[in-house]
Amino acid sequence: MNAPQLVERVRGGDRRALARAITLVENGAEELRPIMAGLAPHTGRAHVVGFTGSPGVGKSTTTNAVVRAARAQGRSVAVLAVDPSSPFTGGALLGDRVRMQEHSADPEVYIRSMANRGHLGGLSWATPHALRVLDAAGFDVILVETVGVGQSEVDIASQADTTVVLSAPGMGDAVQAAKAGVLEVGDVFAINKADRDGAKSTLRELRQMIAMKDRTDQEWKPPIVMTVASRDEGVGELWERVEQHFAHLEASGELTERRRARARGEVEAIVLELLRARLGGVGADGGLDTLAREVAAGDRDPYTAADLLLKELGADPIP
Amino acid sequence: MNAPQLVERVRGGDRRALARAITLVENGAEELRPIMAGLAPHTGRAHVVGFTGSPGVGKSTTTNAVVRAARAQGRSVAVLAVDPSSPFTGGALLGDRVRMQEHSADPEVYIRSMANRGHLGGLSWATPHALRVLDAAGFDVILVETVGVGQSEVDIASQADTTVVLSAPGMGDAVQAAKAGVLEVGDVFAINKADRDGAKSTLRELRQMIAMKDRTDQEWKPPIVMTVASRDEGVGELWERVEQHFAHLEASGELTERRRARARGEVEAIVLELLRARLGGVGADGGLDTLAREVAAGDRDPYTAADLLLKELGADPIP
C-alpha cells in the first residue's frame, strides 16, 4: 500500500489503514511525510477533547462513559490513548483499555493506544500526527487520554480543542493538579468518584482555585461536574459541558486561534526534529559525541559546544 | 556583580550568589552564557541523586530525611526542588518545603526551589544548568526532586547519577510507576509509609516488575528499601544503597558514560533552544505564524511548512 493509497483508505475510515498510519506515526517512519501531506487538506472537522488527571481518578472509566454519551447523540468517536512506552511492560498495561471492548462491535467507534517513545518534547508531533489521521478519517469527536500527570498532561491541552481535567475526592488531587500546572489549562472540570467521602470539600477547593484566575465576562468560566463514571452518573452533563465549550470556541473565534497555535507547535516540532536528527551526524571534529565528552570533562562549556554544532549544521550564526 | 564575580562567589559557596545564579537559570537570562562557561571547569565533583515518584508518596519528607542521613556522614548537601510553575499558585505551594527549615541553620545545607517554566523539553537545560551551579559551589551531594509524575519524572533520571524511585502502599503505585516509565530508570527503590497496610504486597509487586528486566551479572540490581521517612526509619539504609550505587558507577566506568550522556543532552537542548528562538523571527513570507495559519486551514501540510522554515533559517537542506 503506497502513500496515496493509504491516504485514500484512511479517508474512507478503513480500520486497517488507520492502524497502519498510526503505527507509522509511533515509529516516526520516513513515509509519514507524503501521508501527512495527503491528509492535510481533509482535516479540521473533528472536535478534539483531551482528558487529563492524576493516576487513579478514573480516566479510562470516564473516557469510556463519555464515548457512550457521545454515541447516544449519534457522533462517531475515536479514542487515542497515549502511553509512554516502557521496556518493562510493553503494551501489557494497556489491559485497562480492555473495558473499552464494550464498543468494539460499534463501527462508529475506534480505539487506539499509541506509544509515545519520548520524542523530544514528548507529545510534540506524534500526537498531532495521530490526530490528523483520525480527523481525516472523518470522526466527529476524538478523545485523547494520556497516562500520568506532569508535563505531558499539560502538553495535551495544547493539542485539544477542549481539555477536561479530572480529579477525585481524598487524593489531594486539587492541590496536586495545581502543582502540575493543569488547573490553568482545564476548560471543563470533573470530580469523579463523587459518591466518596470528601467530594464536597474537593469541589470547594477546586472552585476556589479556579476562581483565583481573573476572567473577563466574555471569557469561558470552566464548569465543575460531579461524576460517578463507573455508574454513568453525571457523564451526560459532562458531555453537555464539553459541547457547550466547543460552541463557545466556535462563536468566539477562539477555535481558530487554538488550532493555529496547535499547527504552529506541530511545525516547530518537525523543524526541531529534523535539525535534531542531524546533530548526531555532523562531522567528526565538531560531532556531538566528541563535544559532549569535552563538556562532561569540564574542558569545554556547553554554550561554546552549541555554537560549534550550529556552525557544523550550516545554520546562520546566532545574532 | 558581573559574570566573573558571580562565578567566583558561586565557587566560594556564597548564598546570595547561588540564589542569583539559579534565578538567572529560571529566567533563561542572556547572562547565562558567560556564567556557565566560567563554572564549567569546576564541575564534576558532586554526586547527583534524583528523587521521583507519584504525588503523595512522601517525596519531600524522604528528601528531608535523606539530607539528615547525608549530613550525619559529614557530606554537604544541596537540594534542588523543581516545580512546574503555575499562574494559579505561584510559589505558594512550595509551602511543603517549609519543613526543610530544619536545616536552615546548617551552613552545609542549601535548599532551593526552582520553577521550570515549560521550556521545550521541560527540564532539558534548566536543570543541568542549576546542577552546574550547585556542583561548582562544592556541594558533595545534590538531591533533585520534581513535582508530579510523567515525562518530567523520567527525564530527571537523565540528569542524575543515581535515581531513587519512591512508592507507597495502596496507591497502585507500582503499576502507575510502570505506566509512567519510571521503573526502568530506578537505580534504588524505596517503599515509603512501609508501616501501612499493603506494604508487603507492594514490595512483592515491585520486585516482580524489577525482575522482568534482563540484567547481566555485572549490571547493578536495583535494591528495594522499606522506609517510614516521617520517623526516619530505613532512611539510613536507603542512603547506604544510594552510596553503593555511586561506588558501582565509579568502579564500572558507567559514571563517565552517564555524565557524557547528560552533557550531550544539555548541549543538544541549547542548540535547539537557540534555533527555536529564531523560528518565530524569520522573514514575513515564510514566518512561522503565517505558515501555522496555512497549516491550520489545511492549505499547507506541516512538512512543507517545516521545509520552508528551515530554508529561512539558512540551515543546509535536509539530505
Got the DSSP string for chain A?
A: --HHHHHHHHHTT-HHHHHHHHHHHHHT-TTHHHHHHHHGGG-S-SEEEEEE--TTS-HHHHHHHHHHHHHHTT--EEEEEEE---TTTTTGGGGGGGGGGGGTT-TTEEEEEEE----TTTTTTHHHHHHHHHHHTT-SEEEEEESSSSHHHHHHHHH-SEEEEEE-TTTTHHHHHHHTT-GGG-SEEEE-STTSTTHHHHHHHHHHHHHTS---TTS----EEE-BGGGTBTHHHHHHHHHHHHHHHHHHTHHHHHHHHHHHHHHHHHHHHHHHHHHTTS-TTT-HHHHHHHHHTTSS-HHHHHHHHHHHHTPPPP-
Closest residue to B271, CB basis, from A268, A298, A309: A309
Q: From the CB of residue B293, how many other CB atoms can be counted at a distance below 10 Å?
A: 17
Predicted pLDDT of residue A174: 55
A·B CB contacts under 8 A: 289
With bands split at pLDDT 50, 70 and 90, how would you rate the model's confidence at B58?
confident
Q: How far is B39 from chain A (nearest CA, A)?
A: 8
- Judge: B315–A315 Cβ closer than 8 Å, yes or no: yes
Q: Mutate which of B303, B304, B308, B311 to disrupt the A interface (most A C-beta within 10 Å)?
A: B303
Q: d(Cα A251, Cα A269) in Å, to the nearest integer?
A: 29
- Where on the phi/psi map is residue A314: left (φ > 0), alpha (ψ -120 to 50), or beta? left
Q: What is the pLDDT of residue B97?
A: 52
Picking from B33, B60, B88 by the largest number of A CB atoms within 10 A of its own CB, the best residue to mutate is B88
Q: Residue B144 corresponds to which amino acid?
A: V
Return the minimum-mean-pLDDT range out of A269-278, B119-128, B305-314.
B119-128
Q: Are B127 and B95 in contact (CB under 8 A)?
A: no
Q: Do A151 and B84 touch (CB under 8 A)?
A: yes
Of A109, A93, A90, which is closest to residue A101 (Cα–Cα)?
A: A109
Q: Which residue has the higher pLDDT, B201 or B283?
A: B201
Answer whether A310 sits within 8 Å of B256, measured CB to CB.
Answer: no
Q: What whole-number distance in Å separates Cα of residue B238 and Cα of residue B66?
A: 8
The partner residue sitting opposite B298, judged by closest CB among A44, A118, A128, is A44
Contact between chains at B256 and A121 (C-beta distance less than 8 A):
no
Q: Which of A88, A149, A302 sits opposite B212 (nearest CB)?
A: A88
- Cβ–Cβ gap A306/B84 under 8 Å: no
- Residue A164, min C-alpha distance to chain B (Å): 17
Residues of chain A with Cβ-Cβ distance to B153 below 8 Å are 148, 150
* Listed residue (A158, A129, A156, A142) closest to A25, CA to CA: A129
Q: What confidence score (pLDDT) does residue B156 get?
A: 78
Q: Over range B142-165, report the average pLDDT.
A: 78
To the nearest 10 degrees (0 to 180), the angle between helices A32-39 and A126-136 is: 50
Do A88 and B184 lie within an 8 Å CB cutoff? yes
SS3 B19: helix
| Three cell numbers written together for B314 | 539558512
CA distance A119 to chain B (A): 9
Q: What is the pLDDT along chain A (319 residues), one digit of tens a residue?
A: 899 999 999 999 999 999 999 988 887 777 888 999 999 999 999 999 999 887 778 888 899 999 999 999 999 999 998 865 443 333 434 444 555 667 777 889 998 888 765 443 444 678 889 999 999 999 999 999 876 545 556 677 888 999 999 888 876 555 555 555 677 789 999 999 999 999 999 899 888 888 877 788 889 999 999 999 999 999 999 999 999 999 999 999 999 999 998 888 888 878 877 776 766 655 545 578 888 889 888 888 888 888 888 777 766 554 4
Read off the pLDDT of residues A85-100 as tens digits, 9 standing for 90 and up: 443 333 434 444 555 6
Q: Identify the CA nearest to B128 among candidates B265, B19, B277.
A: B265
Average pLDDT, whole number, for chain B? 82
CB-based contacts of A20, cutoff 8 Å, min separation 6? A1, A6
What predicted TM-score, i.e. pTM, was given to this entire model? 0.69
d(CA B13, CA B304): 51
B271 and A306 in contact by Cβ < 8 A?
yes
Chain A residues closer than 8 Å to B154 by CB: 84, 118
Nearest CA in chain B to A214: B88
Given pLDDT bands bounded at 50, 70 and 90, which one contains residue B284? very low
CB contact under 8 A, B37 and A178: no
pLDDT at B171: 67
User: Which pLDDT score, from 0 to 100, does residue A178 have?
Assistant: 55
Closest-CA distance, A309 to chain B, in angstroms, reads 7
For residue B121, which residues of chain A lie inside 8 Å, CB to CB? 120-121
pLDDT at B90: 38
State mean pLDDT over B300-314. Answer: 82
Confidence check: pLDDT of B92 > 70: no
Q: Which of A157, A7, A30, A120 is nearest to B303 (CA)?
A: A30
What does the pLDDT read at residue A91? 40
What pLDDT was estimated at residue B119?
Answer: 44
pLDDT at A225: 97
C-alpha distances (whole Å) from A148 to each of A186, A199, B182 are 16, 22, 11
Residues in B closer than 8 angstroms to A42, CB to CB, are: 298
- Looking at residue B282, its pLDDT comes to 54
Q: What is the pLDDT of residues A222-245, one digit of tens each?
A: 999 999 999 999 999 999 999 999
Q: Which residues of chain A have a CB within 8 Å of the CB of B272?
A: 120, 272, 275-276
pLDDT in tens, A140-165: 999 998 765 455 566 778 889 999 99
Residue of chain A whose Cα is closest to the Cα of B41: A298
Whether residue A179 and residue B270 make contact (CB cut-off 8 A), yes or no, is no
pLDDT-derived band at B88 (thresholds 50, 70, 90) equals: very low
**Probe site for chain B from A264, A276, A310 (most B CB atoms < 10 A):** A264
**Cell numbers representing residue A6 in the block:** 493509504
Edge-to-edge strand order for the sheet containing A47-52?
A109-115, A77-83, A141-146, A47-52, A162-167, A188-191, A224-226
> How far, CA to CA in Å, does B96 sit from each of B61, B65, B109, B152, B154?
9, 14, 17, 20, 22
* B85 to chain A: closest CA residue: A181
8 A C-beta contact, residue A271 and residue B279: yes
Whole-Å CA distances, B266 to A160, A293, B159, B171, B295: 30, 12, 9, 34, 31
- Rounded to whole angstroms, the Cα distance separating A302 from B264 reads 9
- B189, three cell numbers: 527503590
- Dihedral sign from CA coordinates of B167, B168, B174, B176: negative
Minimal C-alpha gap between A85 and chain B (Å):
7
Which position has the higher pLDDT, B9 or B296? B9
**Shortest alpha-carbon distance between residue B79 and chain A (Å):** 18
Q: Which residues does chain B have within 8 Å of residue A39's beta carbon, measured at their own beta carbons? A: 301
**Percentage of chain B lying above the pLDDT 90 cut:** 41
Amino acid identity of B284? A
Set of cell numbers at residue A182:
493543569
Q: Among B145, B267, B313, which would you mutate to test the A interface (most chain A Cβ atoms within 10 Å of its Cβ)? A: B267
- Region B82-91: what's the mean pLDDT? 48
ipTM over 0.85: no
CB contact under 8 A, A118 and B151: yes
Tell me the chain B residues in contact with residue A209 when contact means C-beta distances shorter than 8 Å: 88-89
How many other β-carbons are positioned within 10 Å of the β-carbon of residue A253? Answer: 9
Q: How far apart are CA A309 and CA A319, in angstroms?
A: 16
Mean pLDDT across B48-69: 88
CB contact under 8 A, A172 and B121: no
> What per-residue confidence (pLDDT) applies to A100?
62
Looking at the complex, report in whole angstroms how far the Cα of residue A142 sits from the nearest Cα belonging to chain B: 17
Chain A residues closer than 8 Å to B255 by CB: none
Question: Of residues B275 and A177, which shows the higher confidence score?
Answer: B275
| pLDDT score of B127 more than 60 | yes
